[in-house]
Amino acid sequence: MLEIAVAEILRRHGKWIIYPDFIKLVAEKRGVKDRQAYNLIKRACDKKEIIKMVYPNRTTIYGLVEFGPLQAPSKAQNAGSFPIIDFELVPRQLPQVGTYMLNRNDYPIKVRVEARTLLDGKEVGLIKDRKGYYSGEREWRLDPHRGMANGSFTLQEECWRSIENGHNEELNIEFRITATDRDEKERKLSPRSWTYVKNTNVWFFEPTAFTKDSE
C-alpha cells in the first residue's frame, strides 16, 4: 500500500493548520510516532512541497498555495495556550523509579517537577533527589521535540522498606508539573499519578491527584 504524502494529507485537510495539530494529523495518517511525523513534515518543507509560516510570537502554521492568503492568528487565539508535554513513569528495579519526558511543542520550554509519594493515602513527602530535579528546585530545559528518556530518582526508605517487608500499604506517586508556554508564562499542568502493583514491579496510571493543590 502506498504511503500518503505529507502534502496530500494537508490537501485533504483543506485549510491552514497550526503546528501541534499538524504533527498529530500526520502521525495518525501515516501510522508513525510524533518524532517521525516531525521529520516527514520537515522533509516536505525542505522540498517546498508545503508552506511553513512562522509568526513573531513563534506560532507555526502549515498550508498550501491553493489555500489562499493566511490571516495572522489573533492574540485572543494564542492567549491561554498550554504547553503540550508527554510525561511517563518508567518501572525500574526498586527503590529506583524512572521517568520519561518529551516537549511536543515547537518552542523551547522550562519545566519544574515535584514528585510526592504516599503510603495508604498518607503523604510521605517530596522526593529530595540530590540535584533537585524532582523536588521542583531545579528547572528542566527542553528544546522543541526533545526530551529526557532516562530520568531517575530513588524512593524514600520508608516507601521501599514497606514493599520489601511485604506490608499491604498502597504506594502512590504523584507528579506536579509546571511548564512555560510560548510567552514564557508558567502554567500548572494536570497532576500525573501512578500506583504500584505489589510483587510485579508494575505501575498503573491514575487520572487523578492524591494530594491537595498548594497555592
Give the integer Cα–Cα distance in Å for 18 and 73: 10
Average the pLDDT over each of 6-20, 52-66, 158-172 and give the range with the smallest value: 52-66
Instruction: Give the percent of the chain with pLDDT over 70.
Output: 91
Per-residue confidence (pLDDT) for residue 1, from 0 to 100: 43
Per-residue confidence (pLDDT) for residue 10, from 0 to 100: 93
Kindly give the residue spans of alpha helices, DSSP state H, lying in the chain: 6-13, 19-30, 34-46, 75-78, 157-164
Give the integer Cα–Cα distance in Å for 208 and 94: 23
Q: What digits encode the pLDDT tens for the residues 4-26?
A: 899 999 999 998 888 888 998 99
Give the integer Cα–Cα distance in Å for 66 and 14: 9
Beta strands in the chain (DSSP E): 17-18, 51-54, 60-63, 85-91, 96-103, 109-119, 122-126, 140-142, 147-154, 171-180, 186-188, 192-197, 202-206
Does position 185 have pLDDT exceeding 80, yes or no? Answer: yes
Per-residue confidence (pLDDT) for residue 195, from 0 to 100: 94
* pTM of structure: 0.64
**In this predicted model, which residue has the larger pLDDT, 140 or 182?**
140
Domain annotation for the chain: domains and CATH numbers? 6-67 (1.10.10.10), 85-206 (2.60.40)
Find all residues with CB under 8 Å of 12, minimum gap 6, and list them. Answer: none
Report yes or no: 30 and 82 within 8 Å, Cβ to Cβ: no
The chain-wide mean pLDDT, for the chain, equals 86
Per-residue confidence (pLDDT) for residue 76, from 0 to 100: 44
The phi and psi torsions of 25 (rounded to 5 degrees) equal -65, -50
Q: Which residues pair with 141 in a beta bridge?
A: 110
Instruction: Give the percent of the chain with pLDDT over 90.
Output: 45
What would the mean pLDDT of 79-84 be, rounded to a whole number?
72
Q: What digits encode the pLDDT tens for the residues 85-129?
A: 989 999 888 899 999 999 988 889 999 999 999 999 899 999 998
